[in-house]
Amino acid sequence: MNIQKGTTEFLMGIDKVPQLQTWLNEHPFMSGIAFVGRSNVGKSSLINSFFGKNTARVSKTPGRTRQINIFGFTIIDPSTKAEKEFYLFDVPGYGHADVSKEMAKNWGELLDVFFHMCSEKILLMNIQDARHPLQDSDNAFHEYIKSFDLETYLMFNKIDKLKTQSERSRLKAIQPEIYKSFKWVKQIHFISAEKGDGLAAVEQAMITFLNRIPE
Ligand SMILES: Nc1nc2c(ncn2[C@@H]2O[C@H](COP(=O)(O)OP(=O)(O)OP(=O)(O)O)[C@@H](O)[C@H]2O)c(=O)[nH]1
Ligand SMILES: [Mg+2]
C-alpha cells in the first residue's frame, strides 16, 4: 500500500483545550499518526515529503506552528484500489524557550489532553535533529510520554547535515542505548527530508502500523 499523496487534506488547527476536546468527542474511533518534536527539527518538511508537498507549512522561523494541525489522509492498495482513511497530527514544538508563561501553560495542557486521548491506534513519530540528538527537552518528552505506552518511532532527521562518516557512525552507535533506555521506541530511522534518504522505509513502516490497527 502507499500513502495517496496529494489527497491529504487540512481539516483544522487547534490551539485551545475545549476545541480539542470537542474534536475528540466527535471522532471517537479515529486512528492515525502524530508527528512530534522540538521546533525546527523538520516535522512539517517530513509531512510534506510523506503526504504530498504543500500539506504543511515549513517555517523559516522556529516555533511558528503553535497549534495542533489535523489532516485527513488515505492509504491505497495500487492493485485492488482498496482505500483506508486516517488522521495525521502535526504536533509542534515542545521545548520552546521563547514563549510567555501563559502560552507555555496553555500549550502544555493542550499536549496533555492530546496524548491522553492517544491510544494503540496512534503511532507517535518523534522527530529529532540528527546533529543534536537527545536534547534535554527530548529526554524530558520521553520521560513524560513513557507512562502512556504508545508505539513510538524515533526519526533522526537532517542526516544530510552530518558531513563525515564518523559523525554518522557516532549517531548510529547510540541506537542500542536508546532501545534499552526508551523501551517504547520500537524503531529508529536516520533520514533526510531534504535529500529523501530513508523516507521510503519510514513510509512502509507507517503503513505496516496502520494496517495493524484493529478496526
Ligand atoms: N538540511 C536539511 N534541512 C531541513 C531538513 N528538514 C527540514 N529542514 C529545514 O529545517 C527548517 C525547519 O523545518 P520545518 O519542517 O519547518 O520544521 P518544524 O519541525 O515543522 O518546525 P516548527 O513547525 O517550527 O516546530 C526549514 O528551513 C527546513 O527547510 C533536512 O532533512 N535537511
Ligand atoms: Mg512545523
Q: Mean pLDDT throughout 148-166? A: 94
User: Is the shortest distance between the CB of 122 and ligand 1 below 6 Å?
Assistant: no
User: Is the shortest distance between the CB of 69 and ligand 1 below 6 Å?
Assistant: no
Q: Mean pLDDT throughout 160-176? A: 93
pLDDT score, position 73: 95
Cα torsion 17, 140, 192, 176 to 10°: value is -140
Residue 42 in grid coordinates: 523538520
User: Is the shortest distance between the CB of 43 and ligand 1 below 6 Å?
Assistant: yes
What letters, b where the CB count within 10 A reaches 16 and e where it falls short, cover 125-155? bbbbbbeeebeebbeebbeebeeeebbbbbb
pLDDT score, position 39: 86
CA of 35 to the centre of ligand 2 (A): 9
User: Is the shortest distance between the CB of 126 and ligand 1 below 6 Å?
Assistant: no
Measuring from atom 23 of ligand 1, which residue has the nearest CA? 65
- Report pLDDT digits (tens) over 52-62: 877 777 666 65
User: Is the shortest distance between the CB of 160 and ligand 1 below 6 Å?
Assistant: yes
CA of 39 to the centre of ligand 1 (A): 8
User: Is the shortest distance between the CB of 39 and ligand 1 below 6 Å?
Assistant: yes
Q: Which fold has domain 2-212?
A: Rossmann fold (3.40.50)
This prediction's pTM? 0.93
Measuring from atom 30 of ligand 1, which residue has the nearest CA? 158
What are the residues whose beta carbon lies below 5 Å from ligand 2 (ion)?
A: 43-44, 65
pLDDT score, position 95: 67
Which of the four pLDDT bands, split at 50, 70 and 90, describes residue 174?
Answer: very high
Q: Cα–Cα distances in Å, from 214 out to 49, 147, 211?
A: 27, 22, 8
